[in-house]
Structure 1
Amino acid sequence: MSVSLYDKFVSAFDDLTQERRPDRVAVAVSGGSDSMALLHLMAQYSARTGVFLQSVTVDHRLRKGAADEAEMVGRAAAKLGVPHHILGWDDWDGRGNLQSQARQARYDLIGQWAQDNQILHVALAHTLDDQAETVLMRLARGSGVDGLSGMHPMRQHGPVAWLRPLLWAKRQELRDYLTGIDQPWADDPSNTDDRFDRVKARQIMGLLADLGLTQDRLAQTASHMAQARYALEIATQDLARRIVTLRAGNVVFQQNDFLDAPGELRDRLLAHGLGWVSRQFYKPRYKALSQVVDAVRNGQQSVLHGALIIPKKGQIWITREFKAVSDLRCSTDQMWDNRWRVSGPNTNDHEIRALGETGLAQRPDWRDLQIPRNALISSPSIWHGSDLISAPIAGFVNNWTIKSIKSDNDFFTAIITH
């Protein structure tokens, strides 16, 4: 094995986890060369540091051979002494963008599996090649600073941190490493299917290199844009600390200050507020954000990203859209809407659900709370059948408490994404 390759990997991995070395890590392995190399590197890291390592593969069940490739990964992991798990995806209905839906399914399946197994760090095998292709595709779509900053080396989504410790490595370098240790890998036929944008980007890369637009140059552009993104995030955080308050899980802007802010900062803050309330990972598109701003200027409510935006008395309230949570129910020992936990009397037959119009009608003094009606009806409450037991946000406590899993300060710190 190339010592320098391992050393560079360790340096990158330690940089990503420098605040606290994790004691449990999972590595996502498709069976391709990149992820097989990461499996081996992570296995050596685990053996030298004592970090408990597991591996996981998603079988999308979309083509013949996928199950065999997952089993191949399992055999390789077993030789390394690494537990391996296979997760199946059966939800594609044949509509929409297959690659996009499959990618999101991988994140959802692996993320939930990681949480179920108390794993807070998942390593992904994206390389410099992937970074360059991503920048090129986003350039073609007219992306701004965030898009052109490429893939983040680390991205927090809920309790799970997704790590990319190989963004500096070229695919051929990893393949040479695997060949040197006699480790086979699988080549996914979709990687040569030019119906997909990423394959088109990969094919055109050779022509662009003649103009000096090489993989290294594109990755360098991503690095420069990441620095610009960080500067904008700092400015957005400063704006947030001046004009934002958090009330009962809702995000509240001072309207005039928000509308007077530079457009780039305003859109970033709006996107962050929407994601905070809806707990959605990806940001809305620029056009959709602009439509919300226009609606606010006209004093109109709007809906985006599972959130309701309410301009009211010089403020802008971002609250959960009732439609998004109207059918959401869970027991009182579970988390509701990925945001809320309750505590109170030890009961097994109560449940958490949105307060709704029925519950709000039982709180005739709700106007005294100075919280918009639509923010209250989408708030969590405790029920026993058709009986409202508690609605702390609406002022009806009855020995129960409701607490967000994130603190108010987390709202401001989460604006910085790396």
Structure 2
Amino acid sequence: MTAPAALADAALAEGLLAGLGGALPPRLGIAVSGGGDSMALLSLLHGLCKVAGTHLEVVTVDHGLRPEAAAEADLVARCAGDLGLHHETLQWRGWDGQGNLQNAARHARYALMADWAARRDLPCIALGHTADDQAETVLMRLARRAGVDGLAAMAPQSQRQGVTWLRPLLSARREALRDYLRRAGLEWVDDPSNDDPRYTRIQTRQTLAALAPLGLDVETLAEVASNMARARDALDQQADHAAGNILRMEAGAWVIRADAFFAEPEEIRRRLMIRALGQISGGAYPPRRGPVAALIAGLANGQGATLDGCQTLLRRGEIWVFREYNAVRNLHVPADHLWDGRWRAVPPTVFPMGAELRALGPEGLAYCPDWRSFGRPRAMLLSTPAVWQGGRLLAAPLAGLDEKWHVLLERDAGWPKTTPLSH
């Protein structure tokens, strides 16, 4: 290997380690499709993991959408085996021909990999996104009139479905990774859909090449993403400060001082509302800017609304944000199970036979004569968890029925420190 080639390889490895925050976790998964980006990541990461003593495992998702996919998964399995790494191919056959194919495949891919990571005890999964992917994402989101969060594009690290997703190649160029593979004599495959102009990302890739002479190239747009990420972090910090002064959690609902909320800048109000909605609904993505703006405008005029499985209302100078009753009215689980992804019941002794957790609802509230003494809105209490045995209400702790029972928030009830991911 020539000295320039060795330096190029060393620079890629150093950039990869920097993209991981300078250190490797004890156990790590890596998603490898067989394409050039992820195959280069596999080779580079394997070398770093050997030095660091990190346990590395490989996963491939076969979406069943192309006849070549099985052979590509076999290539990855063979390469992983040559490196002495455990490999698993996950299959998705859920496409029903409706909606956006790439979006459906992406959501399925992340869900499958998150399940795999939990099963294999892997807290982190590394992905092969590059600076080129970052630039394309910025341009696509610019076309959708994205704000600061959208233009910040892909973060080096993000949390989703209980997994930390790592993108250590965001500073690397796609062609530099292929040059590395050629020097190392390693195989990769080119997905023919990467040249299919029917897909928005491919159209964006072609447009980006045409814009490069104007200075709108990969490096420029990747720097825009970095600038927007810093702006996002500053806005999130200001939102955190505001939240500490004007919000409180009560019985699973966020309660916001209305006068202080409306005194905040528009962008801070938006972030506060998005985080409150997301913490209660548990949604993977926040509602879009327009509906959130309409909700806040309505509250300024004293009008409540429903959005993202939540309900809001203005009451006695306070904004209440709580679970919408219709979102949980048909949700029921055994009393010893987690309800609505966040509530768990604690009985005075043992769980009665056949007991279930369900929403209190209007029928249950009728059996709670003291509910008004708590000062909580009726609409909010309807969606709170209650313990039922058939048609009999056993306990509704948040409405004052049977104080020997308790319901606890299992999902983090603290203020979320980052704004949920953009669409």
Q: What is the TM-score of this pair, normalised by structure 1?
A: 0.91
Would the alpha carbon gap of residues 163 and 389 (structure 1) be closer, same or farther in structure 2, given more than 3 Å must change? farther
Change in Cα spacing, 1:379 to 1:115, as seen in structure 2 (3 Å) is farther
Contact 1:389 1:398 in 2 (8 A): no
Whole-angstrom CA distance in 1 between matches of 2:39 and 2:291: 39
Distance 2:137 2:199 in 1: 13
Q: 1:198 to 1:416 in 2, by over 3 A?
A: closer
Note the aligned Cα RMSD (angstroms). 2.3
Are the equivalent residues in 2 in contact too, given 1:124–1:165 (CA < 8 A)? yes
- Is contact 2:275–2:416 with CA below 8 Å preserved after alignment? no
Aligned-pair distance for 1:349?
4.2
Residues 1:310 and 2:317 aligned together: no
Q: Does 1:237 align with 2:240?
A: yes
Q: Give me the whole-angstrom Cα distance separating, in 2, the residues matched to 1:320 and 1:86.
A: 38
Letter in 2 for 1:387: R
Question: SS in structure 1 opposite 2:284?
Answer: coil
2:259 is the alignment partner of 1:222: no
Q: Which has the larger radius of gyration?
A: 2
Residue matched to 1:30: 33
In structure 2, the CA distance between the partners of 1:296 and 1:120, relative to structure 1 (3 Å rule), is: same
In the alignment, what sits opposite 1:353? 358
**How many residue pairs get matched?**
412
Structure 2 distance, partners of 1:14, 1:207, is 34
Aligned to 1:3: 10
Task: Using structure 2 for the length normalisation, give the TM-score.
Answer: 0.90
Question: Do 2:111 and 2:161's aligned partners in 1 also have CA atoms closer than 8 Å?
Answer: no
What CA distance in whole angstroms lies between the structure 1 residues aligned with 2:392 and 2:55?
47
Question: Which residue does 2:298 correspond to in 1?
Answer: 295
Which moves more between the two structures, 285-294 or 156-165? 156-165
**How many Å apart are 1:215 and its aligned residue?**
0.5
Q: Alpha-carbon deviation of 1:26?
A: 1.6
Alpha-carbon distance in 2 for matches of 1:26, 1:333? 33
- Aligned ranges 1:120-159 → 2 under 5 Å: 120-159=123-162
Distance in 2, Cα, partners of 1:158 & 1:399: 34
1:318-357 equivalent positions in 2, closer than 5 A: 318-344=321-347, 345-347=349-351, 349-357=354-362
Q: Deviations over 1:131-177 (max 9, x none)?
A: 01111111222212111112111112253221111101111111122
Whether the 8 Å contact between 2:247 and 2:257 is mirrored in structure 1 is: yes
Equivalent position to 2:369, from 364, 374, 377: 364
Cα offsets for 1:159-199 (capped at 9, x unmatched): 32211111011111111222233322222222111111111
Q: Are 2:411 and 1:413 aligned?
A: no
| 1:390–1:414 Cα change, 3 Å | farther
Matched with 1:180 is 183
Identical positions, percent: 43
Deviation at 1:402, TM superposition (A): 2.4
Contact 2:72 2:189 in 1 (8 A): yes
Please give the alpha-carbon distance, in whole angstroms, between the structure 2 residues aligned to 1:394 and 1:119: 41
- Answer yes or no: is 1:42 the counterpart of 2:45: yes
- Aligned runs of 1:64-213 on 2, under 5 Å? 64-213=67-216
Counterpart-to-counterpart distance in 1, 2:117 and 2:64: 21
Indicate yes or no: 2:33 matched with 1:12: no
Query: Would you say the 8 A contact 2:284–2:420 is kept in 1?
Result: no
Task: State whether residues 150 and 222 of structure 1, in contact with CA within 8 Å, keep that contact through their aligned partners in structure 2.
Answer: yes
Query: What runs of 5+ residues in structure 2 fail to find an aligned partner?
Result: 1-5
- Out of 260, 267, 270, the position equivalent to 1:267 is 270
2 CA distance for matches of 1:324 and 1:99? 28
Q: Distance in 1 between matches of 2:340 and 2:64?
A: 29
Instruction: Give the secondary structure class of the aligned counterpart of 2:170.
Output: coil
Q: Residues of 1 paired with 2:340 and 2:55: CA distance?
A: 31
Task: Tell me the SS of whatever aligns to 2:25.
Answer: coil
- Asked if the contact 1:342–1:400 (Cα under 8 Å) also holds between the matched residues in 2, the reply is yes
Question: Counterpart amino acid of 1:392?
Answer: P
Contact 1:234 1:416 in 2 (8 A): no
Which deviates more from structure 2 when the two are superposed, residues 348-357 or residues 80-89?
348-357
Task: Give the stretch that moved more between structures: 142-151 or 320-329.
Answer: 320-329
SS of equivalent residue, structure 1 residue 221? helix
Distance 2:121 2:314 in 1: 40
